[in-house]
């Protein structure tokens, strides 16, 4: 897919066809995630992939509106970050004023790769920031070294929503010459 089309055609997909996504497809998507840049190549993201019965279990850990959003999506990916791995010097001190902010910066770059790679494969995604953190942590036995960031649905889209409005470049950028 041409890059411009990928950037401008990606949407949050909240309606899915009742069609499968294979483990191999998910592996390709996560490999694309892995290829995003990160602080000193720290690669802080970790994933828990819920398919089949696990997918149904994790869907129950979403608030009702997100549960409705992912009906028929066969895959839910829990995106986590390994704490203390990004934005720090070797001696463990924060390298910038952002403290551990680059941890989530790095993860966000990976999430965008997930969304764009899935789109290129004819699949749709939804990033969900609202979920039952405690239930997901218990279900996958995620230890305290990891922070859960978001849940992503992956499936065959049944809808191509209109683009949401965006701020203009003049609203978000200052040019100084």
Ligand X SMILES: Cc1cc2nc3c(=O)[nH]c(=O)nc-3n(C[C@H](O)[C@H](O)[C@H](O)COP(=O)(O)O)c2cc1C
Q: Would you say 59 and 52 are in contact if contact means Cβ atoms under 8 Å apart?
A: no
Per-residue binding string, ligand X, 51-90, x by CB under 6 A, is ---------------x--x---------------------
Per-residue binding string, ligand X, 129-158, x by CB under 6 A, is xx-------------------x--------
Q: Which residue, 77 or 88, is less far from ligand X as judged by CB?
A: 77
Q: Is 7 in the site for ligand X (CB under 6 A)?
A: no
CB of 176 to ligand X, least distance (A): 29
Q: Is 6 in the site for ligand X (CB under 6 A)?
A: no
Residue 13: name the closest of 108, 104, 118, 109 by CA. 118
The whole-angstrom separation of Cα 21 and Cα 99 is 38
Q: Is 12 in the site for ligand X (CB under 6 A)?
A: yes
The whole-angstrom separation of Cα 152 and Cα 123 is 12
Q: Is 117 in the site for ligand X (CB under 6 A)?
A: no
Instruction: Return the DSSP state at 117.
Output: H
Task: Please tell me the count of residues contacting ligand X according to CB under 6 A.
Answer: 12
């Amino acid at each position: 897919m041409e890059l411009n089309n990928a950037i401008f055609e990606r949407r949050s997909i909240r309606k899915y066809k009742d069609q499968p996504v294979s483990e191999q497809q998910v592996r390709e998507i996560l490999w694309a995630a892995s290829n995003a840049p990160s602080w000193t190549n720290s690669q802080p993201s970790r994933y828990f992939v819920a398919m089949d019965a696990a997918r149904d279990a994790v869907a129950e850990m979403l608030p009702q509106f997100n549960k409705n959003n992912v009906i028929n999506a066969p895959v839910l990916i829990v995106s986590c970050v390994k704490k203390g791995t990004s934005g720090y010097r070797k001696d463990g001190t924060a390298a910038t004023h952002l403290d551990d902010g680059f941890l989530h910066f790095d993860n966000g770059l990976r999430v965008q790769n997930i969304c764009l790679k899935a789109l290129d494969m004819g699949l749709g995604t939804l990033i969900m920031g609202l979920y039952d953190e405690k239930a997901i942590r218990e279900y996958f036995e995620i230890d305290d070294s990891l922070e859960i960031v978001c849940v992503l649905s992956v499936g065959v889209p049944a809808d191509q929503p209109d683009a949401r409005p965006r701020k203009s470049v003049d609203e978000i950028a200052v040019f100084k010459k």
